[in-house]
Amino acid sequence: QSVLTQPPSASGTPGQRVTISCSGSSSNIGSNTVNWYQQLPGTAPKLLIYSNNQRPSGVPDRFSGSKSGTSASLAISGLQSEDEADYYCAAWDDSLNGSWVFGGGTKLTVL
Amino acid sequence: QLQLQESGPGLVKPSETLSLTCTVSGGSISSSSYYWGWIRQPPGKGLEWIGSIYYSGSTYYNPSLKSRVTISVDTSKNQFSLKLSSVTAADTAVYYCARFSGTLDYWGQGTLVTVSS
């Protein structure tokens, strides 16, 4: 059971816009920034979005992030076949002595 | 370009201690801006943070694993290490090392560790 809640799956057709949600609590998303990772099959996760809505160099502007209260979202516009991957949200959690927490991951299928 | 590389046995027997090392190249592990740490991913499952360490040696551990985990750093070798004791089949996973800078921005390629007799 992951601390952050994501839908297990999402899908879209090429060119569509899809969103993936991430729900947390006041001790994690509510008080810290959210990061998103893309994991292609058989590879390590790659940082996609940091500080809620910032893209590292090299990440296309088709990917965007937002946060409101204790929830966050990743949006992918102009969906492409190479976007088919697992997506994870992550945030620091202030409870106990502090820890990094992840969502359970969302498998994105491009139909 | 910063690179991280995990190394260690791919097979560990139940009740024994899992030991992995992460070698950092292209940057110094002694940078004051970063923590370094470990994340794992059981086959077909999601990501779990194990713990993090600062170059000075201060550590943060996942509360659910804290009693079994030790993370250490060797600045002279630009390496940090993970020890997980009393392993069971539930500890079978791909283990990643990563840099923490307010986010996990650099990851190693990961190494599969199987716990089996």
Q: Which of residues 87-106 of B touch A (CB under 8 A)?
A: 96, 100, 102-105
Q: For residue A25, count other CB atoms closer than 10 A to its CB.
A: 18
**Cα distance between residue B1 and residue A94, in whole Å:** 32
- Mutation test of the interface with chain A: which of B4, B62, B103, choosing the one with the most A Cβ atoms within 10 A? B103
Distances, alpha carbon B64 to alpha carbons A22, A102, B40, B67, B69, in Å = 22, 14, 13, 8, 10
Dump pLDDT digits (tens) for B32-61. Answer: 889 999 999 999 999 999 999 998 889 999
Best of B6, B39, B47 to substitute, by most chain A Cβ atoms within 10 angstroms, is: B47
Tell me the residues of chain A between 73 and 102 that have a Cβ less than 8 Å away from chain B: 88, 90, 96-102
Whether the per-residue pLDDT at B31 is higher than 90: the answer is: no
Contact (CB<8Å) B102/A103: no
Q: What is the rounded CA–CA span in Å between residue B76 and residue B22? A: 13
Which residues, 6 or more positions from A88, have their beta carbon under 8 angstroms from its beta carbon? Answer: A6, A36, A37, A39, A45, A102, A103, A105, A106, B46, B47
| pLDDT, tens digit, 9 for 90 and up, residues A9-58 | 999 999 999 999 999 999 999 999 999 999 999 999 999 999 999 999 99
Task: Give the percent of chain B with pLDDT over 70.
Answer: 100
- Residue A19's pLDDT is 98
What's the rounded Cα separation, in Å, for the pair A78 and A15?
A: 4
User: pLDDT band for position B65 (50/70/90)?
Assistant: very high
Whether the per-residue pLDDT at B25 is higher than 90: the answer is yes
Could you tell me what percent of chain B has a pLDDT over 90? 87
When pLDDT is cut at 50, 70 and 90, the band that residue A97 belongs to is: confident
Mean pLDDT of B86-109: 95
List Cβ<8 Å contacts ≥24 apart for B74-80: B75/B29, B75/B30, B77/B23, B78/B23, B78/B24, B78/B25, B78/B28, B78/B29, B79/B21, B79/B22, B79/B23, B79/B24, B79/B29, B80/B21, B80/B22, B80/B24, B80/B29, B80/B36, B80/B37, B80/B53
pLDDT value at residue B101: 85
- Per-residue pLDDT averaged across B9-17, rounded? 97
Residues B69-82, mean pLDDT to the nearest whole number? 96
Which chain B residues are closer than 8 Å to A35 by Cβ?
Answer: 103-104
CB B1 within 8 A of CB B26: yes
Decide: B24 and B2 in contact? Cβ < 8 Å: yes
**Overall average pLDDT of the A52-73 stretch:** 97
Q: What percentage of chain A exceeds 70 in pLDDT?
A: 100
Inter-chain Cβ pairs, chain A and chain B, closer than 8 A: 54
Minimal CA–CA distance to A85: which of A48, A34, A31? A48
Q: Is A1 helix (H, G, I), strand (E, B) or coil?
A: coil
A108 pLDDT band, cuts 50/70/90, is very high
Q: Which chain B residue has its CA at the smallest distance from A96's CA?
A: B63
What values do phi and psi take at A81, rounded to 5? -60, -35
